[in-house]
């Protein structure tokens, strides 16, 4: 069985949370208190749900937490779009985050398929 820290989907999810944190911590109080808190929570939830699912006993629970994680990725995508249109993200920051999120979505879908119905953690 592959360790959680070795899963590429988990590594990318962690990176997304770190990138979001580093961007949001530079925002002013109002921006951090409104959209900032939401985007940090949703971005952190991506990796947190992967790890919680990984630690669950049954493969179906693992898969469900992957679905929650994927939902958090879509929520994060919407939040970064809002941040970009409100001029809180530069073009480079926005594009880098979108690229990471798109990569994550491909990886999590593959990971969900690998879990299948037999509990394999590939």
Q: Is the distance from CB of 101 to CB of 76 less than 8 angstroms?
A: yes
pLDDT in the model for residue 116: 76
- What total of structural domains would you count in the chain? 1
Across the range 57-68, mean pLDDT stands at: 95
Look at residue 14 in the predicted model and tell me its pLDDT. Answer: 99
Asked if the structure places residue 54 within a domain, the reply is: yes
User: What pLDDT, on a 0 to 100 scale, did the predictor assign at position 107?
Assistant: 99
pLDDT at 100: 99
- Look at residue 117 in the predicted model and tell me its pLDDT: 67
Across the range 21-34, mean pLDDT stands at 98
Following CA atoms 68, 1, 7, 46 in sequence, which dihedral angle do they give, to the nearest 10 degrees?
20
In a domain, 120, yes or no: no
Q: Is the residue at 122 inside a domain?
A: no
- 64: buried, middle or exposed (CB in 10 Å: 19+, 13-18, 0-12)? middle
**Whole-number pLDDT of residue 1:** 76
Domain that holds residue 23: 4-115
- Mean predicted confidence (pLDDT) in 1-12: 95
The pLDDT value recorded for residue 118 is 58
Has residue 121 been placed in a domain?
no
**CB burial class (10 A; 0-12, 13-18, 19+) of residue 52?**
middle
Tokens (6 digits) for 80? 């970064």
- What mean pLDDT, rounded, does the chain reach? 95
Mean pLDDT (whole number) for 98-118 = 93
Among 5-19, 32-46, 57-71, 107-121, the range scoring the smallest mean pLDDT is: 107-121
Per-residue pLDDT, 120: 47
The SS3 call for residue 73 is: helix
- CA angle (84, 18, 108) in 5-degree steps: 85
Measured in residues, the chain has a length of: 122
What is each CA distance from 71 to 3, 30, 47, 96, 121, in whole angstroms?
A: 23, 26, 12, 19, 20
């Amino acid at each position: 069985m592959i360790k959680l820290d070795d899963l590429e989907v988990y590594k990318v999810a962690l990176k997304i949370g770190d990138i979001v944190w580093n961007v949001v911590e530079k925002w002013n109080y109002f921006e951090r208190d409104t959209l900032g808190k939401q985007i940090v929570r949703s971005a952190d939830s991506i990796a947190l749900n992967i790890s919680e699912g990984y630690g669950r006993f049954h493969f179906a629970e693992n898969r469900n937490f992957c679905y929650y994680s994927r939902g958090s990725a879509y929520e994060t995508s919407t939040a970064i779009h809002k941040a970009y249109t409100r001029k809180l993200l530069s073009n480079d920051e926005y594009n880098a985050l979108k690229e990471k999120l798109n990569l994550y979505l491909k990886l999590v879908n593959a990971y969900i398929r690998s879990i299948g119905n037999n509990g394999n953690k590939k």
